Structure 1
């Protein structure tokens, strides 16, 4: 293949981060902005939080975009709008996810169906569809790019109270590895991070409650991760120097779960 895509720049790139209203997504958006990239902060429902994320970003050229990732038409529109506003999307971070509690022994069949459909629609199909839309644009324009998926330690150790979450994150890891192979000839690298427990707003109550100590003790460091630590891993995998890490699933869990 003699086609040579444009070299991916180190900074000044267009970056789309899904689920960037708070938590890991907010930290990821901030990390890219600090190094001079233009960031599209995506949200589906938490607009006020997303606006706070946007307002705190360093630099200029950032934007706030809304869209339901469970709706393929809205995903397509989101990709087009991000490309138009940013002047092209060089980096996609598939971070958005839902986590619905549905332990099988306690869950009715109807609720079980609902939990799996809601979770898969966002965690898997939303990321799958958006990756297609962004990658197709990169290929058609002859641009190099990066896709980084935010998976989970739960893909490996299991999520008994949230089985659909664990399963969709495992599928997201596998999807990323498939894309890493198929998109490499086009200069597009794809990788995933698999965080353990992270101190985000969503789990603050658990960390402050009776189970907090047990959660922290899962890691020999005696604590959980900060969102910025996950963002650092994402930033590396999206960097020009990490192209040879394409296809990897990087554990970022403080040695709380070791794969063999």
Structure 2
């Protein structure tokens, strides 16, 4: 390694806190855990919500430190996505890290779903999970380029993108698309010192899925992993924080499996 490259590597790992972090879909669950993890590290966080303002305020109130902001907006609407970024930038003074966590996951197994419902569910998944992620990524990456400070984008994908989701096919398909989007952007944005990576979690415990973890279904879900349990949101959040760190530049383009060996890709 040359002296210049050594200097660059050292700089890429230098602490850059407090960073300015936008977390989409942060009103509860994984988004809340991600916001809390960044705040615990000294970063300032824009907590985005789509339809749960009270829960988002609870997330905001739970964050360590100060300088955090609340940002509401419908990411299915391109204008709404632009307003979210504008508000976050105004509140934080810029954006250094984007975590694309917002998503919908509506049950719609094909044998039980009528065509009109099928179309509506697919349109909603594409609008939020894929296009919302794409639009936020464009808007934030352009800000990062203009700032000339580099940055990180971390997408929350899913194990379901690889193993299939028979009861939630639009969810699995849009998460696969999010993974592909992240890899395309990793190549496109590297010259601007912007790293892009994705996590692909398996089942993890949140308020939304708590009823499924009861009884026989819960036992079956936990048995998917040889560890005999599901993940916590905090475990996923720690991986997201690492992928957004200066030390993770060389992980740009990766899709990090976080499923407790419940599904092994080849």
Matched with 1:234 is: 240
Kindly indicate whether residue 68 of structure 2 is the aligned counterpart of residue 62 of structure 1. yes
Q: Deviations over 1:161-216 (max 9, x none)?
A: 00000000000000000000000000000000000001001100000133000000
Specify which of 55, 80, 88 is matched with residue 86 of structure 2. 80
Query: How far apart are the structure 2 equivalents of 1:153 and 1:11?
Result: 31
3-state SS of 1:132 partner? helix
1:246 equivalenced with 2:231 (yes/no) = no
Structure 1, unpaired ranges of 5+: none
| Residue pairs, 1:30-49, within 5 angstroms | 30-49=36-55
* Aligned-partner SS, 1:55: helix
The match for 2:5 is none
C-alpha separation in 1, matches of 2:41 and 2:76:
31
Q: What is the 5 A alignment of 1:170-249?
A: 170-249=176-255
Partner of 2:27: 21
CA distance in 2 between partners of 1:174 and 1:75 (Å): 21
Runs of 4+ that moved beyond 2 A: 6-10
**Aligned match of 1:128:** 134
1:119 aligned residue (122, 125, 136): 125
Corresponding residue SS for 2:205: coil
Partner secondary structure for residue 102 of structure 1: coil
Structure-1-length-normalised TM-score: 0.96
Q: For the residues of structure 2 that align with 1:254 and 1:213, how far apart are their CA atoms?
A: 15
5+ unaligned residues in a row in structure 2: which ranges?
1-7
2:168 to 155, 162, 171: 162
Deviation of 1:77 (Å): 1.1
Taking the aligned partners of 1:178 and 1:129, their CA distance within structure 2 comes to 14
Q: Give 1:106's match in structure 2, choosing from 93, 103, 112.
A: 112
Deviation at 1:9, TM superposition (A): 4.7
Which of 47, 67, 71 is residue 77 of structure 2 equivalent to? 71
CA offset at residue 141 of structure 1?
Answer: 2.0
The offset of 1:132, in angstroms, is 0.2
Take 2:85 and 2:106, find their aligned partners in 1: how far apart are those partners?
A: 26
In the alignment, the residues of structure 2 paired with residue 10 and residue 254 of structure 1 have an alpha-carbon distance, to the nearest angstrom, of 31
In the other structure, the counterpart of 1:11 is 17
Report the 3-state secondary structure (helix = DSSP H, G, I; strand = E; otherwise coil) of the residue aligned with 1:53.
Answer: helix
Q: CA RMSD in A?
A: 1.3
Distance in 1 separating the partners of 2:243 and 2:121: 31
Q: How far did 1:16 drift?
A: 0.3
